[in-house]
Structure formats: C-alpha cells, structure tokens
Amino acid sequence: MQAVLDDFPAYLEAFGYTVFLFLVSGVISLLIGTVLAAMRVGPVAVLRLVATVYVSLLRNTPLIIVFAFFAFTAPIFGIRFGWLDVSIGPFDFTAFFGAAVVSLSLYTSAFVCEALRSGVNAVPLGQAEAARALGLPFGGVMTQVVLPQAARASIPPLASVQIALLKNTSVAAVFGVGEAVSQMRSFNNDNADQRYTIALAFVIGYVVLVEVVSFFSARLEKRYRVTTA
Amino acid sequence: MTALDKNPDPGATRAPGEPLVVLSGVDKWYGDLHVLQDINLSVRQGEVVVVIGPSGSGKSTLCRTINRLETIDRGSITLEGRPLPQEGKALAQLRAEVGMVFQSFNLFAHKTILENVTLGPTKVRRQPKAEADKRAHELLERVGVAHQAAKYPAQLSGGQQQRVAIARALAMDPKVMLFDEPTSALDPEMISEVLEVMVDLARRGMTMIVVTHEMGFARTAADRVVFMADGAIAEENDPESFFTAPQTPRAQDFLGKILKH
Ligand SMILES: Nc1ncnc2c1ncn2[C@@H]1O[C@H](COP(=O)(O)OP(=O)(O)OP(=O)(O)O)[C@@H](O)[C@H]1O
Ligand SMILES: [Mg+2]
C-alpha cells in the first residue's frame, strides 16, 4: 500500500484514464446502441438484419479480440488512429486511446442495443399504435413515445452494461493505455513485496467508481418512477 | 358542455350527407381466418355509425383498417374519395385526419395530460407550442378534465383517461373519429361520463364510427347500426328498428343475449 501512497498522483492519473475511457466510450456506445435498437425494432428489413448481425457478432466476440482487431488488423485496412494526439492537463490521448475507445464503444453498443430492445419490448404495443394513429411517422413514434419509455425500463440493464464497460476498460492496459490496471502492473513490478495491498488499492478505486455509476442509475430510476406512478 | 354547442367544430368541410369514408369489397385474412368478408360500407359526412356484433366478429379489425393500422387484402377504402395511402408520409398524413380512440385509452404514460394532447399538433401539424397549449386547454375543458392538465395518465381514473384520449384525437381536427369499444374497459359509474362527451361530439356534427354495445348511446346518437357476424355485415338499420325488430336470426340471437344482462 505504501508504494501507492508514495506515488498517489500516478494512481489518480491512471484512474483518470479509466474514467476518460469509460465516459467517452459510454456516451458513444449509448448513441450507437440507440441507433442499433431503432434499426432492430424498425420496419426496414435490411436495417433489422444489419443490426442483428452486428449485435450477434460483437456480443459473441471476446472483448480482447475486438481490441486486437483494432490494434493489429484494422491498420492493415487503413483504419488507424495515429492522427489522434490531444493533451488535456497531464493526460495524453493518442492512437492507443483512440483504438481503445473504438473497441469499447463498438463492443458495448451491442449490449446497449439489447438492453434498450428489452426496454422497447416492455412498452405496451398500444403506446406505439396511439402514436401512429396521431399521424407520427416511424421516427416520431420512436423518439417521442417508445424510446423515452423504453429508456425507463432499460435503466437497470443499461446500468449493468455501463458498469461492465467501466471494468472492461482494464483490457486497454494490454494495448498501451496507461489506465488503472496498467499502472497497477507497474507498481507491482517495482514493489513485488506489496502485491496484495496494491491490488487492494486498485480494487477500492474500481469499487468507488462503480458505486458512483450505481448511485446515478438509482437516482434516474427513482426520478422516473415517481413521475409515472 | 351545452354552452359550446353553438360553436360547431371546424373540419366539417364537406356538406353533410356526402360520403366521407367508403369501404368497398374489402376482404382481409389472418392466415386461414377470413376476418373481413366483402365489406361494403359508406359513411356520410356527419353520420354516426355504431358497429355492433359478437366477440371475434371483426369489429376492431374493421375499425383499424380505416386508418390502416391493419392492411386489407382486397377491395378499397377511400377517405373523401381518395384511396388510403400505402405507407410513408402520405399514410402518416392520413392517420392525422382520422382520430382513433382505443378501448385501453393508450395515453402516453410518460407525458402529462397536456403533453398528450399537444404532441400531435406540435409534432405532426407543426403548430407553435403556445397555440397548441391553448387549444389543448380548451379541449380538456370541453371533456371536463382541465384541472388535471399537469398530471400523468396513471394518476387519472379510467373515465378521465378516456376523455383525455378523446381530446387528444380531437386536437388533430380529424375528419372522422373511430372508437373501438371506448367504454368497455371502464367501471360502470365512469361509462356515462365518456358517453356524454361522445354524444356531445355527435351533436356537433362529427363523423363517427363507434364499436360499442352501449345501446343507450346507439339510440341517442347513432344514425345507423351495423351488425357484424363472422367477419361480414349481417344487417344494417336505424337504431330503433334494429333494436326493436332485428331482421336476421344472428342479430335476434345476439340481442337476446345482451338484453338478458
Ligand atoms: N393480429 C391478429 N392475428 C391473427 N388473428 C387475429 C389478429 N387480430 C385479430 N384476430 C382474430 O380475428 C378475429 C376478429 O378479431 P377482432 O378483434 O376484429 O374482433 P372483434 O369483433 O373486435 O371482437 P371483440 O368484441 O372481442 O373485440 C378474431 O377471431 C381474432 O382472434
Ligand atoms: Mg374488438
């Protein structure tokens, strides 16, 4: 533990990368996942098929292989993130970070899609019918009536998906992002005698972050429950 | 409600008596089930038609084909002489002109009463919010739930919800209103408050197609009763004649059953 306390800024900075990975991938995965969910429940057969194939593919592939694809295979096809070079304070966001965000976002979006779809299925059919009967086109039916209600039913499963994402950011350690787990390894390398307490320090970090996500999800859930009761 | 009687709804653009909704030779199948069989029905401007018949006879399906919530396999349906559009924008536009009230109300659960009524006008008709709000308040006043405008549907009684659903449909200034058993999900003491609103609507000259077993409503407000059995129109008559002297054995049998209760 002493090793971590001695270099606490490094500990915090590492979790800073974890938080950045989580927030950026979280937002992107929610956006892509929403589009995918709309495609899967929509009236266009081709889009339904595309979204279904995408979801099965990403959901059934281990995350580390998605990372490996964007780290090693995608560059062969000209998909590179070398252009990315942003610094905010002590944080440098480079190609590794870009590839990690893309991998995490695409992977997580498949789960977001399924969480939202279960929410859509929880919305009674009559809601969409009433919206169609008013003359709303498909897009309006979805954005005005179905998705807002689906989002409510989806908050608990979406929270689980986002918590999984938070922990999945650790895979980025293997691909050159200096996030928490990568920092933990470097602490371990220098202080082999403190392995257990170093692990404990990082577990505490993750627990705190997960609790923050749970807290916000519980608040969202409560707020929406009150208004519809 | 009576104070507003001299102020009839706009939307009655056609002269009374002209055919507004015309179904000719309509057939529909659900797999092997011939759910609508050669339906011919013409509803004139300002007319109130009550559709009655045993469960499973195809009343809801008929109602839903008129705003194309259900497609048909044969025949044609026209509104003001124009065939119903197949899909897309034109279909959405058609639905905006046909009001629909469901048995289970189907108010948007996540929106307030006011938002339920203004959603169509603002999103479909692109009315400014202030204008839509004003009109919504008038309509809510008219159906007697104005003081509930800020609440959510789940906070209202069934009767109140159904009256809001009627206001929501009216906010689009529909040319015709479809009602699919609007009172059959309601407790008895709430039925009359909904029927009163519907009778008022009929008096103002709204063209209405109403699936209901409420004979009181049919007698007070309907111009015509259409009796359906096994997917076909078995009998059509004015309410008085239909209820007192049904012609077909099916109708006699059916009326015998509902009158016993
Ligand atoms: N989506 C569907 N798929 C298959 N069959 C259906 C479908 N909807 C209705 N049906 C069948 O079509 C027939 C007519 O149904 P419909 O709902 O129009 O009857 P209804 O006269 O409205 O009856 P009720 O008085 O019970 O409401 C019924 O036998 C019903 O089971
Ligand atoms: Mg029915």
Q: How big is the A-B interface in CB pairs under 8 Å?
A: 76
CA distances from B79 to A130, B14, B92, B193, B205 (A): 20, 12, 14, 30, 17
Q: With 70 as the cut, is the pLDDT of residue B4 above it?
A: no
The pLDDT of residue A13 is 87
pLDDT (average), residues B152-178: 96
Ligand 1 within 6 A of B35 CB? yes
Give how far the C-alpha of residue B123 lies from the chain's centroid of Cα atoms, to the nearest Å: 22
Closest CA to B125 of B148, B95, B161, B84: B95
The pLDDT of residue B11 is 43
- Between helix A147-168 and helix A195-228 the angle, nearest 10°, is 180
pLDDT tens for B184-241 read 999 988 999 999 999 999 999 999 999 999 999 999 999 999 999 999 999 999 999 9
Q: Residues of chain A with pLDDT > 70: what percent?
A: 98
Report CB contact under 8 Å: B100, A133.
yes
The pLDDT of residue B176 is 96
pLDDT (average), residues B124-135: 95
pLDDT (average), residues B44-69: 95
| Residue in chain B nearest A130 by alpha carbon | B106
CA distances from B98 to A47, B126, B174, B179 (A): 30, 17, 5, 11
pLDDT tens for A102-161 read 999 999 999 999 999 998 899 999 999 999 999 999 889 989 999 888 888 889 999 999
Q: Which of B37, B59, B181 gets mutated to test ligand 1 (max ligand atoms within 8 A of its CB)? A: B59
Ligand closest to B59 (CA) is: 1
Span from the CA of A144 to the centroid of ligand 2 (angstroms): 27
pLDDT (average), residues A28-40: 94
Report CB contact under 8 Å: B95, A126.
no
Which residues are placed with Cβ below 5 angstroms of ligand 2, an ion? Answer: B 60
Q: Residues of chain B with pLDDT > 90: what percent?
A: 85
The pLDDT of residue B1 is 39
What global pTM score does this model have? 0.79
Mean pLDDT of chain B: 91
Closest CA to A101 of A25, A181, A33, A176: A25
How does residue A4 score in pLDDT terms, banded at 50, 70 and 90?
Answer: confident
pLDDT tens for B14-56 read 556 789 999 999 999 999 999 999 999 999 999 999 999 999 9
- A142 contacts on B by Cβ (under 8 Å): none
Report CB contact under 8 Å: A126, B104.
yes
Q: With 90 as the cut, is the pLDDT of residue A77 above it?
A: no
pLDDT (average), residues A69-80: 86
The neighbouring-strand residues paired with B50 are B210, B225
- A136 contacts on B by Cβ (under 8 Å): 92, 119-120, 123-124
Which protein residue's CA is at the shortest distance from atom 13 of ligand 1? B56
The pLDDT of residue B3 is 39
Cα separation, A12 vs A57, whole angstroms: 35
The pLDDT of residue A181 is 86
Ligand 1 within 6 A of B54 CB? no
Q: With 80 as the cut, is the pLDDT of residue B261 above it?
A: no
Span from the CA of B161 to the centroid of ligand 2 (angstroms): 19
Mean pLDDT of chain A: 89
Q: With 80 as the cut, is the pLDDT of residue B255 above it?
A: yes
The pLDDT of residue B28 is 97
Higher pLDDT, A95 or A210: A210
From A121's Cα to the closest Cα of chain B, the distance in A is: 15
Long-range CB contact pairs, A37-40, < 8 A, 24+: A37/A112, A37/A113, A37/A116, A37/A117, A37/A120, A37/A147, A37/A150, A38/A142, A38/A147, A40/A113, A40/A117
Cα separation, A148 vs A119, whole angstroms: 10
Model ipTM value: 0.89
Span from the CA of B58 to the centroid of ligand 2 (angstroms): 7
Q: With 90 as the cut, is the pLDDT of residue B63 above it?
A: yes
| Residue B110 contacts A where some CB pair is shorter than 8 Å | yes
The pLDDT of residue B9 is 47
| Ligand 1 atom closest to B63 (CA) | 18
A 152-211 → B contacts, CB under 8 A: 152
Q: Which domains does chain A have, with CATH numbers?
A: 2-228 (1.10.3720.10)
- A144 contacts on B by Cβ (under 8 Å): 108, 119, 123
Ligand 1 within 6 A of B28 CB? no
pLDDT (average), residues A31-37: 94
pLDDT tens for A211-225 read 999 999 999 888 776
Closest CA to B232 of B102, B37, B25: B37
The pLDDT of residue B258 is 81
The pLDDT of residue B24 is 94
The pLDDT of residue A226 is 52
The pLDDT of residue B145 is 94
**With contact defined as beta carbons under 8 Å apart, do B233 and B39 qualify?**
yes
Q: Are strands B232-237 and B224-229 parallel, antiparallel or unpaired?
A: antiparallel
- Name the least confident of A78-92, B95-109, B180-194, B222-236: A78-92
pLDDT (average), residues B100-115: 96
How does residue B8 score in pLDDT terms, banded at 50, 70 and 90?
Answer: very low
- A134 contacts on B by Cβ (under 8 Å): 95-96, 119-120, 124, 168-169, 172
Ligand 1 within 6 A of B60 CB? yes
